[in-house]
Amino acid sequence: MTIVERFLKYVGFNTQSNEESGVTPSTPGQMVFARYLKEELESLNLTDVSLDDNGYLFATLPSNTDKAVPVVGFIAHMDTSPDMSGRDVKPRIVRAYDGGDIVLNEGQGIVLSPSQFPELLDHKGEDLIVTDGTTLLGADDKAGIAEIVSAIVYLQQHPEIEHGTIRIGFNPDEEIGLGAHKFDVERFGCQWAYTMDGGEVGELEYENFNAASARLTFRGRNVHPGSAKDKMINSLRVANRFISMLPPLETPEHTEGYEGFYHLTGMEGTVEQTTVNYIVRDHDRARFENRKKTLEQLADKINAEYGDGTATLELHDQYYNMRQQIEPVMHVVDIARQAISDAGITPQVRAIRGGTDGAQLSFKGLPCPNLFAGGLNFHGRYEFVPVQSMEKAMRVIVNIASLVASRS
């Protein structure tokens, strides 16, 4: 089975995660996919293949050398984003992309165009796997899974490539921030690992946002509008008052690079009660803590204006910047950088404007930088992945395995 055949098979599984379910994995489709992958890994004669009740699938490619080589892992997540449906994905391959518009769905007028997505032009002449415009594709992160499995097969077929023991980990629920929560690092048994969960070719990431979620509840007082003067407190207006006090340019649509933000993700309410949800992000830990203090101070200000108990804030840290965990072991980044270069690719070292399972795993004792998987425009109908990018990512995995052995 080729890497493309593998990927096209994988995206046929509906593995959209659900942050409201309260169970792991958060949706049954993820376990269906995990069982399929378990059978595939067993058919490849990998050892220590195990799937636990929470949907964490581990397997081992044994070492083919007598050297003492560090055990290295490769990790990808099985779920797709809740942002758009992953059911009945109908992928299509656009051969030798010519640089023009790609009609995804003629009936609905859905077009993937370089005028809106100029990164398409970086892949002119390549074979692009696209959607039919009604679902996401699932390259995030089924491309990563296909690359890892294909790299393992390649190493099996080329015993002349010396490598140590390699561990594979496929986990659920990354897209809802829970992928690493029940990941058994001790059982995984690696000195370090790499998540194959990045985007464009060449990406190598060992910095990410510090992240928190914030939920604000605004309580109002509902009175008949005909006699509401000096009595009514409209919680919708109070919520809007709070929103307006945050810095207007510190939002995702106004920031880039190392700039942090407050992102309003949901708002629902009536005169009586309104809830507002935010995510808070910043690469710098001190600025991150200040952002949370700002939310607390503004909630206090609302209570001072409208009365105690009007605004209630719930803050929860989600993950932290892995850089502080990676810097003491920078050889894991250096090896990945060399592996990318050896594949004929210019490494693109950058900070993630988001997070990966690798961030949480790094704080659990498993240093885990993130590598490109090749997909673009994640979480929506315009998602696509060049076949050549997946092939390059597979080659990088093989190169890492070889480099770790040669440097031991």
User: Which one, of 279, 272, 295, 393, lies nearest residue 344 by Cα?
Assistant: 393
Give the mean pLDDT of 215-235. Answer: 96
Statement: residue 329 has pLDDT above 90: yes
Task: Identify the residue with better confidence: 357 or 150.
Answer: 150
What is the percent of the chain where pLDDT is above 70? 100
Same-domain status, 233 and 381: no
Statement: residue 265 has pLDDT above 90: yes
- The residues facing 92 across adjacent strands are 130
Query: Which H/E stretch holds residue 401?
Result: helix 387-406
Statement: residue 12 has pLDDT above 90: yes
Same-domain status, 336 and 377: yes
Give how many domains the chain has, as a whole number: 2
Same-domain status, 251 and 365: no
Same-domain status, 298 and 335: no
Give the mean pLDDT of 171-175. Answer: 96
Same-domain status, 25 and 86: yes
Domain span at 153: 3-208+321-406
Residue 255, burial from CB neighbour count under 10 angstroms (0-12, 13-18, 19+)? middle
Statement: residue 152 has pLDDT above 90: yes
Report DSSP state, residue 121. G
Same-domain status, 299 and 344: no
What beta strand segments (E) does 64-152 contain? 72-77, 92-94, 102-105, 110-112, 128-130
Same-domain status, 239 and 271: yes
CA–CA gap between residue 126 and residue 62 (Å, rounded): 35
Segment 188-220, tens digit of pLDDT: 999 999 999 999 999 999 999 999 999 999 999
Looking at every residue in the chain, the average pLDDT score rounds to: 96
Same-domain status, 215 and 333: no
Structure token digits, residue 266: 């949901």
Same-domain status, 272 and 163: no
Statement: residue 84 has pLDDT above 90: yes
Same-domain status, 15 and 124: yes
Which residues are catalytically annotated? 79, 174
For residue 186, give every residue at least 6 positions away whose Cβ sits within 8 Å of its Cβ, in sequence order, or none. Answer: none
Same-domain status, 217 and 240: yes
What pLDDT, on the 0 to 100 scale, is given for residue 107? Answer: 95
What pLDDT, on the 0 to 100 scale, is given for residue 391? Answer: 98
Give the mean pLDDT of 80-109. Answer: 96
Same-domain status, 120 and 84: yes
What pLDDT, on the 0 to 100 scale, is given for residue 318? Answer: 87
What pLDDT, on the 0 to 100 scale, is given for residue 134? Answer: 97
CATH number, position 225: 3.30.70.360
CATH number, position 73: 3.40.630.10
User: Which one, of 242, 304, 14, lies nearest residue 135 by Cα?
Assistant: 14
What pLDDT, on the 0 to 100 scale, is given for residue 355? Answer: 79
Statement: residue 354 has pLDDT above 90: no
